């Protein structure tokens, strides 16, 4: 994975497979402290302690389709290469939280990539899952909550093309408003 948005997509899809009904994606940039964090928090079935102990092993996976599980090990490696780290907390029956930290301006930090497209893909492909996305850049902050959108659109499916177009516009506008001037 060459961009952080691909890591977000991979970890969030793990959350979906774990039965999550709500997935939080929190991105924080702090330029004064040269810090970037990405946290993905879900209310899925969580992991047993033996799974937690093996999660950084690329040859361990709970998937039956393929015999390797590279997502979390690759994210941990990306964080470590930029002077950061990965923290994982999980409780069986309660959910999982993964937080990766990075040196914001570190030469080896992967670019963010298309975070808007990633969130749209997650929403469009997972109709029974809600997403709460928060992006903070220094003191500016933007949030999107599909639970609120669902209240507004009532019985229109959240993956309806016009709804997705609206969400894309909200994301693009929100992200552009919190980023510093170029």
Q: Which CATH class is domain 4-178?
A: alpha beta
Least confident of 37-46, 49-58, 61-70, 128-137: 61-70
Parse the chain into domains and list their residue ranges. Answer: 4-178
Binned at pLDDT 50, 70 and 90, residue 51 comes out as: confident
Structure tokens at 77: 């490696």
**Average per-residue pLDDT in the chain?**
90
Per-residue pLDDT, 182 = 39
* Position with higher pLDDT, 61 vs 70: 70
Distance between CA atoms of 180 and 136, rounded to whole angstroms? Answer: 12
Per-residue pLDDT, 160 = 95
Q: Is the pLDDT of residue 68 over 50?
A: no
- Give the start-end residues of each E strand in the chain: 22-30, 35-42, 85-91, 95-103, 130-137, 140-145
Pairing of the two strands 85-91 and 35-42: unpaired
> Which stretches of 1-145 are DSSP H helices?
4-17, 49-54, 71-81, 115-125
Q: Is the pLDDT of residue 62 over 60?
A: no
The pTM of the full predicted model, rounded to 2 decimals, is 0.90
pLDDT tens string 126-160: 999 999 999 999 999 999 999 999 999 989 999 99
């Amino acid at each position: 994975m060459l961009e952080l948005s691909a890591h977000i997509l991979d970890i969030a899809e793990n959350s979906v497979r774990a039965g999550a009904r709500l997935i939080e994606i929190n991105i924080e940039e702090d330029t004064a402290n040269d810090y970037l964090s990405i946290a993905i928090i879900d209310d899925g079935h969580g992991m047993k302690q033996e799974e937690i102990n093996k999660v950084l092993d690329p040859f361990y996976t709970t998937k039956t389709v393929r015999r390797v599980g590279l997502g979390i090990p690759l994210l941990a490696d990306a964080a470590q290469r930029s002077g950061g780290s990965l923290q994982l907390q999980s409780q069986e029956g309660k959910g999982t939280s993964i937080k990766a930290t990075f040196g914001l301006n570190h030469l080896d930090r992967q670019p963010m990539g298309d975070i808007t497209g990633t969130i749209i893909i997650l929403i469009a492909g997972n109709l029974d899952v809600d997403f709460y996305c928060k992006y903070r850049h220094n003191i500016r902050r933007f949030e999107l909550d599909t639970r609120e959108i669902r209240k507004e659109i009532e019985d229109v499916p959240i993956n309806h093309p016009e709804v997705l177009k609206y969400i894309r516009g909200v994301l693009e506008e929100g992200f552009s408003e919190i980023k510093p001037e170029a």
